[in-house]
């Protein structure tokens, strides 16, 4: 094992992070090589800097004018240079400030500084590298984003265990989650528990109510009190798109950040959906635990391992994407521009609810109140057969899931076309009976 990795492991000994690290995570470290030495030179090499492998003239990066002409308001360094492994510092700080504004319960709590990753998928893969061993169990609701299986099960050889997302009443199935957590936390079970929560949920577009979120947080505390060491991953890809007053409008991370010494919580979020920059591939990883303090050596050690996982995968994320995002967030029009988009999506949500209230046929819409999607239980018809029929006969694209559910992204359909969309869904489902 590398000497730096060994030192970081020693600093994490006895902490929740040290207990949860995978064998791969124990081997990870941020090397004191080209990147670290280049960063040091950037601060101190006042004469000449011959460190980083870039082409420069007069201390500025060389560039192709045919690229720069399309980005007239950015400096060459903001377009073509390498970003620091952890991300552009100003962007990290701005994201942190905005995160606290959007999650008031985080105010005054000790969290890490967000680290930039190359999209939320990369962020999840980084956490898998750090914490998941072959044979570990990852707890998920039964309706989940399909890429989780590739990341955790196929790539890392973990086992996915699910609980039904909804109870028969249509509320969040907290009893199912409780049963899953309790069995994972049984006396003869491993003390390590990995739970991933994704709200607003993909594929259903559901977020817990305030009361449901409160009970969920109590379940986490109860499991931690029983001595289980919990890695909580909050996938907040669609954060902020909440359309109902009673919806819990913060991330579960905000309460979990200092909930218990036996909980290490990670917030995985990003600009992808929140700021409408799907192809920018800019996400953020932020962690917190009641047993870690931002300036403690253990917290710094975990941050170094996190940077090592980023360095060993993508090295650093696009500086151009980060520069553009930072400029947008600094704009005086930023908040109103986001509100304008929210109003468009909320209109599509409310029109969808209005149409679906009287929709005939065999399709049953699952509870939804947020995000981009809604999901149908296709009941008596096969979801994949319905998807194919809609595609071939109507030219309508949808997503089938496990042949029982059909996901519809109303976020991508103009409001005036929604009635046609749902009428076609109902008619084609009825024709398959």
Query: Residue 62: its pLDDT value, please?
Result: 84
pLDDT of residue 431: 94
Task: Say what the pLDDT of residue 232 is.
Answer: 98
CA atoms within 13 Å, Cβ hemisphere of 396 = 26
Residues 259 and 231 in one domain: yes
Q: Which structure tokens are listed for 3?
A: 């000497």
**CATH code for position 414:** 3.90.1150.10
Q: Which domain holds residue 424?
A: 335-431
Instruction: Determine contact, residues 360/379, Cβ cutoff 8 Å.
Output: no
The order of strands in the sheet holding 263-270 is: 115-117, 283-288, 263-270, 229-235, 192-198, 137-141, 159-163
Note if the pTM is more than 0.85: yes
Residue 58: predicted pLDDT:
81
Q: Are residues 161 and 112 in the same domain?
A: yes
Are the C-beta atoms of 357 and 251 separated by less than 8 Å?
no
Say if residue 106 is in the same domain as residue 230.
yes
Q: What pLDDT score does 185 carry?
A: 56
Q: Is residue 394 part of a domain?
A: yes
What totals of helices (H) and strands (E) does the chain contain, helices first? 18, 13
Residue 353 resides in a domain:
yes
The domain tally of the chain equals 2
Interaxial angle between packed helices 174-184 and 210-225, expressed in degrees from 0 to 180 and rounded to the nearest 10: 10
User: Both 284 and 361 in a single domain?
Assistant: no
Residue 58 lies in a domain: no
Do 132 and 180 have their domain in common? yes
Query: Do 356 and 279 belong together in one domain?
Result: no
What pLDDT does 293 receive? 82
Among residues 273, 302, 330, which one ends one of the domains? 330
Which H helix or E strand runs over 284? strand 283-288
Give the whole-angstrom CA distance, residue 305 versus residue 29. 5
So what's the pLDDT on residue 115?
98
Give the CATH number of the domain where residue 165 resides. 3.40.640.10
Tell me 84's DSSP state.
P
Residue 194 lies in a domain: yes
Q: Which two tokens stand for residue 326?
A: 């930072």
Specify if 43 maps to a domain: no
Q: Is 67 inside any structural domain?
A: no
Residues 251 and 103 in one domain: yes
**pLDDT averaged over consecutive 10-residue blocks of the chain (433 residues)?**
94 95 96 67 62 79 91 94 95 97 95 97 98 96 96 96 95 94 64 95 98 97 93 97 97 97 97 94 97 86 97 95 97 96 97 95 95 94 97 96 95 98 96 92
Domain match, 123 and 148 both: yes
Boundary-marking domain end, from 281, 303, 330: 330
Q: Using the 8-state DSSP alphabet, how is residue 242 labeled? A: B
Residues 298 and 158 occupy one common structural domain: yes
Q: Do both 145 and 289 map to the same domain?
A: yes
Is residue 76 situated within a structural domain?
no
Burial of 112 (0-12, 13-18, 19+ CB in 10 A): buried
Q: By C-alpha distance, which of 270, 197, 267, 279 is closest to 238?
A: 270
In a domain, 127, yes or no: yes
Are residues 178 and 102 located together in one domain of the fold?
yes
List C-alpha distances in Å: 31 to 22, 27, 74, 92, 273: 19, 12, 31, 21, 33
């Amino acid at each position: 094992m590398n000497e730096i990795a060994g030192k970081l492991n020693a600093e994490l000994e006895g902490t929740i992070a040290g207990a949860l690290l995978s064998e791969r995570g124990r081997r990870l470290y941020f090397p004191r090589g080209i990147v670290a030495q280049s960063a040091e030179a950037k601060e101190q090499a006042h004469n000449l800097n011959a460190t980083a492998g870039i082409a420069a003239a007069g201390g500025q990066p060389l560039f192709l004018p045919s690229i720069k002409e399309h980005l007239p308001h950015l400096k060459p360094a903001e377009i073509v240079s390498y970003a620091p492994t952890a991300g552009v510092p100003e962007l990290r700080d701005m994201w942190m400030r905005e995160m606290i504004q959007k999650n008031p319960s985080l105010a005054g709590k000790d969290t890490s500084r967000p680290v930039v990753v190359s999209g939320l998928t990369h962020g999840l893969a980084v956490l898998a590298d750090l914490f998941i061993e072959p044979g570990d169990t990852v707890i998920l609701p039964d309706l989940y984003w399909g890429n989780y299986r590739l990341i955790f099960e196929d790539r890392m050889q973990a086992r996915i265990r699910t609980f039904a997302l909804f109870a028969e009443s249509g509320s969040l199935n907290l009893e199912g989650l409780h049963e899953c957590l309790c069995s994972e936390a049984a006396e003869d079970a491993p003390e390590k528990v990995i739970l991933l929560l994704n709200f607003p949920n993909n594929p259903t577009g559901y977020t817990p109510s305030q009361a449901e979120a409160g009970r969920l947080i109590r379940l986490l505390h109860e499991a931690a009190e029983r001595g289980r060491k919990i890695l909580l991953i909050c996938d907040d890809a669609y954060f902020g798109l909440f359309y109902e007053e009673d919806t819990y409008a913060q991330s579960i991370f905000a309460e979990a950040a200092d909930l218990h010494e036996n909980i290490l919580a990670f917030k995985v979020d990003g600009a992808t959906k929140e700021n409408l920059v799907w192809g920018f591939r800019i996400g953020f990883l932020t962690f917190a635990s009641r047993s870690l303090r931002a300036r403690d050596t253990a917290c710094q050690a975990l941050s170094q391992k996190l940077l090592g996982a980023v360095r060993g995968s993508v090295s650093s994320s696009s500086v151009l994407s980060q520069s553009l995002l930072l400029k947008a967030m600094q704009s005086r029009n930023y908040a109103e521009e986001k509100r304008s988009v929210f109003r468009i999506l909320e209109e599509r949500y409310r029109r969808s609810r209005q149409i679906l209230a009287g929709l005939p046929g065999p399709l049953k819409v699952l509870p939804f109140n947020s995000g981009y999607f809604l999901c149908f239980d296709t009941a008596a018809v096969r979801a994949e057969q319905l998807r194919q029929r809609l595609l071939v006969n109507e030219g309508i694209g949808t997503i089938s899931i496990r042949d029982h559910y059909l996901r519809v992204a109303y976020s991508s359909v103009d409001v005036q076309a929604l009635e046609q969309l749902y009428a076609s869904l109902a008619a084609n489902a009825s024709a398959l009976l």
